[in-house]
Amino acid sequence: GQNIDQPTEMTATEGAIVQINCTYQTSGFNGLFWYQQHAGEAPTFLSYNVLDGLEEKGRFSSFLSRSKGYSYLLLKELQMKDSASYLCAVRQTGANNLFFGTGTRLTVIP
């Protein structure tokens, strides 16, 4: 089976940096994904890690440590529009589907 843990809620200030952590347990790890989901909308893909290390894409970076079962999503220069839920998801070896965590609701305040 799989288990994913993320903080339920976080608050950060506009212009600041925030790190959202995700820990997971799974058999046969084959990739970790971060999705952004605004209220009432569909998730949109942010990043993908399958090897250890940091992947950077503009203001967003994602880090993975497979040995620790740990990932984080780093958001820099926060904007008000970044207020959303951030979903961590894991894929198992040989599977097509993703197993999602419950998400972290980020609120950006002025």
Partner 1 sequence: DAMVIQNPRYQVTQFGKPVTLSCSQTLNHNVMYWYQQKSSQAPKLLFHYYDKDFNNEADTPDNFQSRRPNTSFCFLDIRSPGLGDAAMYLCATSRDRGTHEQYFGPGTRLTVT
Q: Which residues bind partner 1 (CB under 8 A)?
A: 4, 31, 33, 40-45, 48, 50, 87, 91, 96-103
Helices (H) and strands (E) in the chain, counts: 0, 11
- Which residue, 79 or 102, has its beta carbon nearer to partner 1? 102
CA distance linking residue 40 with residue 56, whole number of Å: 27
Contact criterion met (CB below 8 Å) for 19 and 11: no
Q: Minimum distance between the CB of residue 75 and partner 1, rounded to whole angstroms? A: 20
Q: Minimum distance between the CB of residue 102 and partner 1, rounded to whole angstroms? A: 5
Q: Minimum distance between the CB of residue 15 and partner 1, rounded to whole angstroms? A: 28
Contact criterion met (CB below 8 Å) for 84 and 43: no
- Which residue, 19 or 30, has its beta carbon nearer to partner 1? 30
